[in-house]
Chains A and B, each alone.
Chain A
């Protein structure tokens, strides 16, 4: 197990303001979700989860078929489909379009997929101005920070942080009233929307039978990003596809309720291709970029490919007691929380950040709330076994392995177990200074090994019984 970011952990754990911000924001989201899935409001919640899981399983297991169907239908509506192996290919493609159309300004709506591949960096290097338009993402862009949470990216910031960031970057006076901060952002970004040459979005769902991209949002920036500029480029992981438009009801219900407690977000856009000839406005060109970036690797493992079912609702983050302590920036990759813990090692290899699958008490709260029923703890256990196997191959982790081999040996030889336990109970006071127990003792009082074990109590009781005649 590699070294985890202890310093980062401690910094977050020791910051009471941040702890409160994380705790209260996630609690609010948890409560919203609980209200929205209450049996009186959504009596068939469990049935919806089963159905969503079934559809995702089917689609993922026939992914090539549905991608080809998506492609055919999108092209029929005048769109273009581009497959990209990695982030570099995506950046090259977007920059190519920008160059061909002499584009100077790109507006973006919130997309974890584009964060995953650091698209903005790639575009900046190509000298095209790229502006995030989701309020939280815009603030983060100005502050050069990554999202803290899948759904609430600026969860960790206060209005005072925002005031400072705006004053420093926009040359506005220090404004701490949140409504006014929003007005400032609205005004700045509106100008960008109307000037922009290209709009880049992600996609919440790709609809195979319609050749369509579905975007959900509350602010309206995705609508503006896809309606104002003349070119719309949607970047989506290949796993985002679902078979039919008629499957949307199930997924939108689950996504909205699980993420923010809303049966429908304020805006749901169902977009297929550039504007039709008779339509008055909308983009003239529409590109769908389908990104692999390692997803085909996850696809290859039948037990772990369920990790690709994720619809990015963030519920697992909100309910995870570990996330709620360490926050989004202590995870090694852009995806944090339980979903991040299972996909990061699958994308990057288990030897990198090998501590990550172990940073969980396996409480199962995530699996309980996952709308598509990903068995997160099960995948974590598999990854843990893969980490130890990899360490074995790399000639590391020998001491821990040896400890468990010995432990298993003791636990399968009862007389030895009992003898060692008796010795252990005598040595108990010395325990806090030894290895793992030292870690225990840092945070808690060490329990005493009982002077008389249950085994001993039982044996004594048996001896005291009258013998059968």
Chain B
């Protein structure tokens, strides 16, 4: 049986565990044995984004120690996956040993939707979800991992689901990690613009591959009384 190691990400672990549960269910249904190294915590992104690369490196080394021999690492987050595959190398610019480790590990680190499409090679996981959803292109996933058509193909194969595109699907939701609390008014303004686009689709839910985006959108929609749900792609794919 094939084994995958799950890096669930700190936000899913603490705020949206249902996403991790959904990922586990989908992978197990596809015949994978899911391993969850309990020592995992975070990818280090918050520190890097706030200008503390040394602290990010500490956390990145912890990640490498846990995952460096994994066959596959599956990550249900575009931004965390791209932190590992696109930014760790620069963090370890001056550390040859760690740089080598991340170089060897990077090809085995997969954002969840790309894992399904490119490793498991499935476009349908037998999911059923009745409703209209609209898809938000999370920035890191879109621009650093090329996630655009892939998640949409997966959604297209969900029985009962109607995908309705929003205008400006590629516009940032305004989260940006610590940006959301350092510049709350701008972050909130960006989210409200995004939510206008979402609202116009009259969808039941907005879906993305990044829980941080969903958390931002959910927070603003709840404040504004907009009754649209936020769902991670994994939750849709786990639905029966």
Contact = CB atoms under 8 A, between A and B. Distances in A.
B58 interface: yes
A325 B190 contact: yes
A363 B21 contact: no
Contact of A443 (B8, B42, B187, B193): B187
B188 interface: yes
B210 to A, nearest CB: 12
B125 interface: no
B98 interface: no
Contact of B15 (A1, A436, A442, A450): A450
A13 B52 contact: no
Given A361-B179, A458-B38, A385 B51 contact: yes
A167 interface: no
Interface in A311-344: 321-322, 324-326
Interface stretch (A52-60, A157-165, A402-410): A402-410
B38 A414 contact: yes
Chain B interface residue count: which class?
35 or more
Contacts of A360: 176, 179
B48 interface: yes
Of the listed residues B144, B183, B190, B215, the one surrounded by the most CB atoms of chain A closer than 10 A to its CB is B183
B55 A407 contact: yes
B183 A359 contact: yes
B209 to A, nearest CB: 15
B172 A361 contact: yes
Interface in B181-239: 181-191, 193, 215-216, 218-220, 222-223
A439 B175 CA distance: 13
Interface string A443-455: 1111111101111
B219 A358 contact: no
Interface of B is mostly: helix
Given A322-B190, A326-B186, A408-B47, A443 B172 contact: no
Contact of B189 (A13, A381, A384, A408): A13
Interface stretch (A135-143, A248-256, A286-294, A364-372): A364-372
A21 B49 CA distance: 31
B174 A385 contact: no
A417 interface: yes
A414 B176 contact: no
Interface stretch (A2-10, A99-107, A112-120, A260-268): A2-10
A123 interface: no
A439 B39 contact: no
B59 A411 contact: yes
Interface string A347-360: 00000000101111
B15 A448 contact: yes
Given A368-B143, A400-B50, A405-B55, A325 B189 contact: yes
A457 B222 contact: no
B176 A364 contact: no
B219 A447 contact: yes
Given A361-B179, A449-B15, A443 B38 contact: no
B55 A408 contact: yes
A181 interface: no
Nearest to B168: A27
A439 B184 contact: yes
Contact of B62 (A401, A411, A453, A458): A411
Interface of B: 8, 10, 12-17, 20-21, 36, 38-42, 44, 46-53, 55-56, 58-59, 61-62, 90, 139-140, 143-144, 170-172, 174-191, 193, 215-216, 218-220, 222-223
15 contacts: A9-B183, A321-B174, A321-B190, A321-B193, A324-B193, A326-B186, A385-B52, A407-B47, A407-B55, A414-B39, A444-B191, A444-B223, A454-B14, A454-B21, A458-B38
